[in-house]
Amino acid sequence: MVTITFLGSGAAIPNRWRALPSILVSHEGYEVLMDAGEGTQSRLQEMGISPLRLTHILLSHLHADHFNGLLGLIATMQLLNRTTPLTIVGPAPIRDWLPELSFLRVIELRESNTEQVVLSSKIEIRYITAYHNVQDNSYSLLIKRPAGKFNPSKANELGVPVKLWRKLHMGESVRVGNRLITPQDVLDSVGNPFLKIVYTGDTAPGENIVKIAQSADVLIHDSTYLDGDVDGEEAHKLGHSTCLDAVRDAVEAGAKSLILTHISYRYGPDYWSAFMKCAIKAFPKSMVAMNGLKLTL
């Protein structure tokens, strides 16, 4: 099971409705935090999540609204005597901003217009350079799906006792009499072997975003401005996207679902339905991120 939790979905300045950017992806012991704006630690506490559970922190860029919550998180971990490794990934010179602590593992990223693998394990992390006014990384998380969907009929036909079904479901082979039964014998294919989650960070629309978001199951896209309120060209000069920009990138990338985030502080609740209408008109599987939004995939 994969859970995406939006701790903050605002931009630049927090308001009463939106905290600053921070998104947590959870899967089987992995807790990957994408950006850590001011207030991230408080939002984790509100949701009952200990900072000691975090395994990775991915920083899109070093603007204050995406970064200012990080040092407080690290200080708390130090006070709680953390010893398990924490991997922090971000643009250079992120290492210069961080204290030298034994549990920190820091990976600095250079600009790249081709998708690059950062880490490969149960969750594979990739990045590409986004379109902002400082170096900014868009990230993709590739999470391996189960080998397939367990088919009880196939197991029964092969005479597999019910007590052995769980082992097959978990990818282990079992022996029934003189015959070795493999997971492939009783599982139906799930198609794509990976679940793909993409977070753009702050960005204008463009080719690199489409590249990394190709066939994403979930695309979390900068949507700082509402079309008609701010001209698209003006938004792009600032290194941001409008709602329609996010939709166009999602359509071109063949994404399965779209979540709009990094909503400007100028927009209160009266505007949120306008963001939704903008998105779902062209891309029905869209939603607007809110503080505390939790999705289970």
65 is in an annotated binding site: yes
The residue behind tokens 């062209």 is 282
262 marked as binding residue: yes
CA angle 48, 264, 131 (to 5 degrees): 100
CA-nearest of 13, 68, 34, 69 to 224 is 13
Instruction: State phi, psi for 188 to the nearest 5 degrees.
Output: -90, 140
Per DSSP, the three-state class of 208 is helix
Is there a binding annotation on residue 227?
no
Q: Could you give the CA distance from residue 252 to residue 200 in angstroms, rounded to a whole number?
A: 15
The CA-based dihedral angle spanning residues 162, 167, 171, 177, taken in that order and rounded to the nearest 10 degrees: -70
The response to whether 221 counts as a known ligand-binding position is: no
Cα 57 to Cα 71: distance, rounded to the nearest angstrom: 12
Active site residues: 65
Task: Please check if 66 is assigned to a binding site.
Answer: yes
Question: CA 208, CA 4: separation in Å to the nearest integer?
Answer: 23
Per the CB < 8 A criterion, the answer to whether 131 and 163 are in contact is: no
Annotated binding residue 236: no
Q: Which residues sit in the known binding site?
A: 61, 63, 65-66, 132, 202, 262
Q: Which residues sit in the known binding site for Zn(2+)?
A: 61, 63, 65-66, 132, 202, 262
